[in-house]
Amino acid sequence: MRFLMLSVLILIQWQVVFAQQKPPIKKASTVTKSNLSANKAVLGGREIAITLTPLKNCTIYLGSYFGKGMTLVDSTRLDQNSKGLFKGPNKLTTGIYFVVSPTYTIQFELLMDQQQRFSIQADTSAKESAIIKGSPDNDLFKSYASFSNEKGRALQQLKLALQAANGLEADKIRGSIANTEKEIKQYQVDIHKKHPNSLLSALFYIMQRPELPPVPIVKGKPDSAYPYQYVKQHYWDNVLFNEDRLLRTPFFEPKLDEYFKYYVSADPDSIISEVKQMLLMAKTGKEIYPYLLTKFTNKYINPEFMGQDKVFVYLFENFYAKGDTVLLNPASRKSITERAYSLMANQIGQQAPVLNLTDTSGKKVGLYNINAPFTIVTFWDPNCGHCKEEIPRYDSIYKAKWKAKGVAVYSVNIYENENNAWKKFIVDNKLSADWYQVYQTKEDKLAEEKAGLPNYRQLYDIFKTPTVYLLDDKKRILAKQLSLEQFDALMDTKKR
């Protein structure tokens, strides 16, 4: 396979540096010196005093989750008494944060609430014993963490015991597991009731998945689709997509991925409906909107399943083309635009772009002049190693099966400078004389450029070879970039 262009990587200018255990750290956005004067609070900003023993005279960091990654957002220099201050004129986005050592290891987690005026007393040898004062949200978080750890250990022991149990004993253990899980859920329900405006309550909503309801009986028959529809309908209950704090958790994006994997049809129109709704709801979010737009762009610019590039074209036409290219740096803006224009003309179900190329004898052959129930259009390079394997395979199935069905093959050599090699390959491999073997002459190419017309490489999105399309009798695109076997199976299923 020969690649004709690099795959597109979207680089958003606002994007932060992600931190692993030993990340390449850029200078933190706010580097503060040790300052213990709690009375000098900046209105609207943050001021978090920390004592982290036994560390002294070194820089520590404040980090947060960001989608599936992590990022450093602040730093402070500890003095000889292990004291420092995370301080800045602006409040941080609320969510789950953590303190990071000079060697970039996470010490402990904390909640960044709306107040952002609290103190931390901790020791690197007792990370779970960090004391946070002046933050009710962190009091709730600490209580829940203690409860959750206790119940988590109990569940682990019960599940281990269940592996060795049987009969009544196993039933008893299952009952204990169910009761423990019920206690954990009830704890979360109580937080929602007693502290509905707390950050912890919001985090529980982000984490939770709806429970499958029992299958109802409708007019004497079980409605097996109801549980699925119920879960999908309630999957995002109490979650607002314009809240930036969604990104400052480790569980929002996995939940989002799970939703698209299990509860959204792979059909591009179904995906577009979901993406459109989410992006419109997220539009007022400073961080969440560009993050989601970037995520969906990267996912569907080179999608997993055929036809889903329609989602990317939708994103370009309805967001980027309407002004959201300001989110991109110049290189990414150019790549996004070029890729979109390369895909617009070859969407599944559309009429294939017109081709009127020259065959080996110098005669023009128009794609739309070919009368066939199916037409295979393949763009290849006689010097491409993968092409040398694939093109003879297509010829074999053509001779064995497709020819009798009236299938036509419009075979395009994409390098006019390699015509000798192209003709030699056709002869050496005894490719069928019924194929339409064509190329674009230099004269036609220059005339096309002079007229400002798009080249067939762009119209057919040819960035690797071979690139193959399947057209129906009206020259509408049925499929693209499938394997030989998949093209064959698709033709078998289509009614002619």
The answer to whether 257 touches 263, Cβ cutoff 8 Å, is no
Q: How far apart are CA 437 and CA 412, in angstroms?
A: 6
Least confident range of 4-13, 94-103, 157-166 = 4-13
Q: What is the mean pLDDT of residues 203-218?
A: 92
Model confidence at 418, in pLDDT bands (50, 70, 90)?
Answer: confident
Least confident range of 52-61, 114-123, 330-339, 481-490 = 330-339
Does residue 32 carry a pLDDT above 60? no
141: exposed, middle or buried (C-beta count within 10 Å: 0-12, 13-18, 19+)? Answer: buried
The answer to whether 243 touches 283, Cβ cutoff 8 Å, is no
Does residue 10 carry a pLDDT above 60? no
Give the model's pLDDT for residue 6: 29
Q: How far apart are CA 65 and CA 291, in angstroms?
A: 13
CA angle 441, 469, 264 (to 5 degrees): 140
The answer to whether 399 touches 405, Cβ cutoff 8 Å, is no
Q: How far apart are CA 121 and CA 231, in angstroms?
A: 42
Residues contacting residue 229 through CB under 8 Å, at least 6 positions apart: none
3-state secondary structure of 472: coil
The answer to whether 91 touches 273, Cβ cutoff 8 Å, is no
Element (H, E) at 359: strand 356-359
Give the model's pLDDT for residue 408: 97
Amino acid occupying residue 312: F
CA distances from 490 to 93, 396, 483 (A): 50, 18, 11
CA distances from 373 to 403, 407, 476 (A): 11, 6, 11
Higher pLDDT, 39 or 293: 293
Residues contacting residue 186 through CB under 8 Å, at least 6 positions apart: none
Element (H, E) at 296: helix 288-301
The answer to whether 97 touches 248, Cβ cutoff 8 Å, is yes
Euclidean distance between the first and the last CA atom of the chain, given in angstroms as a whole number: 33
Residues 248-278 pLDDT 10s: 999 999 999 999 999 999 999 999 999 999 9
Give the model's pLDDT for residue 12: 34
Amino acid occupying residue 384: C
Does residue 411 carry a pLDDT above 70? yes
Of 66, 113, 73, 71, which is closest to residue 246 (Cα–Cα)?
Answer: 66
Q: What is the mean pLDDT of residues 445-461?
A: 94
214: which 2 tokens? 């029992």
195: which 2 tokens? 């502290």
Q: What is the mean pLDDT of residues 170-195?
A: 94
Of 297, 257, 233, which is closest to residue 15 (Cα–Cα)?
Answer: 297
Share of the chain above pLDDT 70, in %: 91
Q: How far apart are CA 275 and CA 283, in angstroms?
A: 12
Does residue 33 carry a pLDDT above 60? no
Give the model's pLDDT for residue 495: 61
Average pLDDT value over all residues in the chain? 89
Q: What is the mean pLDDT of residues 79-88?
A: 97
Of 434, 379, 428, 427, which is closest to residue 407 (Cα–Cα)?
Answer: 434
The answer to whether 318 touches 340, Cβ cutoff 8 Å, is no
Residues 362-386 pLDDT 10s: 999 999 999 999 999 999 999 999 9
Give the model's pLDDT for residue 44: 77
